Amino acid sequence: MDEGFIEQMGERIAYVRTAGTGPGVVFLGGFMSDMTGTKATALEAACRAAGRPFLRFDYRGHGQSSGRFVDGTIGAWADDAILALDRLTSGPQILVGSSMGGWLMLLAALARPGRVAGLVGLAAAPDFTEDLMWNEFPEPVRRTLLRDGVWNEPSEYGDEPYPITLRLIEEGRRHLVLRDTLPIACPLRLIHGLQDRDVPWQVSQRLLEHIDATDAALTLVKEGDHRLSRPPDLARLVDTVTALADQAAAELAEAGQPPDGPGAGSVAAIADSPSR
């Protein structure tokens, strides 16, 4: 295992990486979360036990990375994910996105289709800044955003409110993915709790309907909430990611390609590739 920072344009992105063989796994966290959460660490332990590469990291303004959360946007955080994919992994990867990470994994797959062998979304929240924020905000909140540029949304997950900026919402409109067919063909697995009060399970259903991929499935968890962090939720996550990574490895073997993918080289060989 190694950990450290990658730098680009003055920002430092913190990461923890586990070495291994075969298609790797990259975890993309949620809005105002960090890479030390239970889902990320549970996946890391499973990948280490299986000898599979694993990467977790913090977007700018999150966790140990530089920057202020209030300055973040969907595009900037997507760039962080693509940067991590480019500089810290090689060969095909399974991207696992939780909540906002489920949106960012789609943007990464669109930007790097040849690097993404599969997608796993947990309470995936594509287009949430428009559909679950702006469109749902009452008029007084909209007026506050238009007047002040920021509104502090109370959080049930901690004492600190979420600073929602007008820039976050306006910039997010450049990255909406559920307005048209989504040209992503790799396998997709979605898991969503029916008790999710933050992101309705119908969002995952919409994603399933919009994506081009034919190997796509949605699992609904009757007692699951937004976090999906109970022991059975974590076991389901590990099983889903393991099956998808094994499927990708089998397809590589059938094609006569090495387990790390065609032409996969060292991380150093791709360290200087552009993020987007």
Domains of the chain are 2-252 (3.40.50.1820)
Enter the pTM of the model. 0.93
pLDDT of 165-177, one tens digit each? 999 999 999 999 9
Q: Which of 58, 86, 127, 196 is catalytic?
A: 196
pLDDT of residue 9: 85
The sign one gets for the Cα dihedral 119, 225, 44, 172 is positive
The answer to whether residue 196 is catalytic is yes
200, two tokens: 């309705």
Per-residue HEC secondary structure of 167-230 comes to HHHHHHHHHCCCCCCECCCCCEEEEEECCCCCCCCHHHHHHHHHECCCCEEEEEECCCCCCCCC
HSE, side-chain direction, 13 A CA sphere, residue 27: 32
pLDDT for residue 128 is more than 90? yes
pLDDT averaged over every residue in the chain? 93
pLDDT for residue 273 is more than 80? no
Please give the residue that has the higher pLDDT: either 235 or 8.
235
pLDDT of 32-58, one tens digit each? 999 999 999 999 999 999 999 999 999
178 contacts 206 by C-beta, under 8 angstroms: yes
pLDDT for residue 207 is more than 50? yes
- State the pairing for strand pair 150-153/116-122: unpaired
Query: Measured between alpha carbons, how far is 264 from 110 in angstroms, rounded to an integer?
Result: 20
pLDDT for residue 145 is more than 70? yes
What is the distance between the terminal CA atoms of the chain, rounded to a whole angstrom?
27
Q: What is the largest CA-CA distance in the chain?
A: 60
Confidence band for 257, pLDDT divided at 50, 70 and 90: confident
Confidence band for 268, pLDDT divided at 50, 70 and 90: very low
84 contacts 62 by C-beta, under 8 angstroms: no
SS3 for 16? strand
The answer to whether residue 66 is catalytic is no
pLDDT of 93-115, one tens digit each? 999 999 999 999 999 999 999 99
The answer to whether residue 99 is catalytic is yes
Report CA-CA distances (Å) from 239 to 47, 66, 144, 246. 11, 33, 44, 10
SS3 for 142? helix
Backbone φ/ψ region at 267: left (φ over 0), alpha (ψ -120 to 50), beta:
alpha
Confidence band for 272, pLDDT divided at 50, 70 and 90: very low
pLDDT of residue 262: 62
Q: Which of 99, 192, 204, 275 is catalytic?
A: 99
- Burial level of 93, CB count in 10 A (0-12/13-18/19+)? buried
Query: Measured between alpha carbons, how far is 7 from 10 in angstroms, rounded to an integer?
Result: 6
pLDDT for residue 264 is more than 90? no
Q: Which of 226, 233, 260, 275 is catalytic?
A: 226
In the chain, the DSSP E strands lie at 2-8, 11-18, 24-28, 54-57, 93-98, 116-122, 150-153, 162-165, 188-193, 216-221
